[in-house]
Amino acid sequence: MSVEISVNLRKKIDEIKKKFPRDKSPILPLLHAFQDEFGYISVEIEEEVAKIVGVSPVYVREVSTFYSMFNNKPVGKYHIQVCGNISCWLRGYDEIVEYIKKKLGIEIGETTPDGKFTLSRVECLGMCDQAPVMQINGDFYGNLTPEKIDEILDNLE
């Protein structure tokens, strides 16, 4: 199986190769670009990236699995990442994550049956001044309360 590369992604690939011409530097930017497009890094994508950079697929696998942001399986339309590190924990991580679990009916690491939400626990997001915090598809949400979580999640289509 090969990967369908859109015109937009092809353009991004060319830009990345031009911007980072040395060694294997394009790998991380390429993995980001593919994940933006497909939501996760499949075996086929690893093979494609390996071809572009000129390395073995297993090399790309080693890199992509080292970095926690690269998903090795599909995630929901909205990937909810709740910070469980010290500053967020001091400000109520336990209650917040319990509330989200109950609301969505899933555990950490699971996706709702409709494929809309995936819930993950992550380490410090660098937003400790707004603890407790979560990140959904790149956007940060801080000073979380159950009411605020309702408002945020209920407004995602």
Partner 1 sequence: MSVKILTKHFHIKDSHKIDVYISDGGYKQAERALKEMKPEEILEEVKKSNLRGRGGAGFPTGLKWSFVPKDTGKPVYLCVNSDESEPGTFKDRHIIEKDPHMLLEGIIITSYTIGAHESYIYIRGEYYPQAIRLQEAIDEAYAKGFLGENIFGTGYKLDVKIYRGAGAYICGEETALLESIEGKKGKPRLKPPFPAVVGLYNCPTVINNVETIANIPAIVEKGGEWFASLGPEKNGGTKLYAISGHVNKPGVYEHEMGYPLMKLINEDAGGVIDGLKLKAVIPGGSSVPVLRAEECDINLDYDSVAKAGSMLGSGAVIVMSEKTCMVRALQRLIHFYKDESCGQCTPCREGTGWMLKIINRIVSGNGRKEDVDTLYYIAKGILGHTVCPLGDAAAMPVMSFIDKFRDEFEYFAINKKSKVE
| For partner 1, the closer CB: 143 or 150 | 143
Q: What are 71's two structure tokens? A: 């998903």
CA dihedral 33, 36, 41, 43 (to 10 degrees): -70
Give the integer Cα–Cα distance in Å for 27 and 109.
26
DSSP per position, 12-68: HHHHHHHH--STTTTHHHHHHHHHHHHSS--HHHHHHHHHHHTS-HHHHHHHHHHST
Least distance from partner 1 to the Cβ atom of residue 94, Å: 9
Question: What Cα–Cα distance (Å) separates residue 5 from each residue in 74, 82, 91, 100, 145?
Answer: 18, 32, 44, 35, 41
| For partner 1, the closer CB: 13 or 91 | 91
Contact 68, 122 (CB under 8 A): yes
Least distance from partner 1 to the Cβ atom of residue 126, Å: 5
| For partner 1, the closer CB: 106 or 122 | 122
Least distance from partner 1 to the Cβ atom of residue 114, Å: 25
| For partner 1, the closer CB: 32 or 101 | 32
Least distance from partner 1 to the Cβ atom of residue 129, Å: 4
Positions in the binding site for partner 1 (CB under 8 A): 19-20, 22-29, 31-32, 53, 62-63, 66-70, 84-87, 89-91, 122-131, 135, 138-140
| For partner 1, the closer CB: 86 or 156 | 86
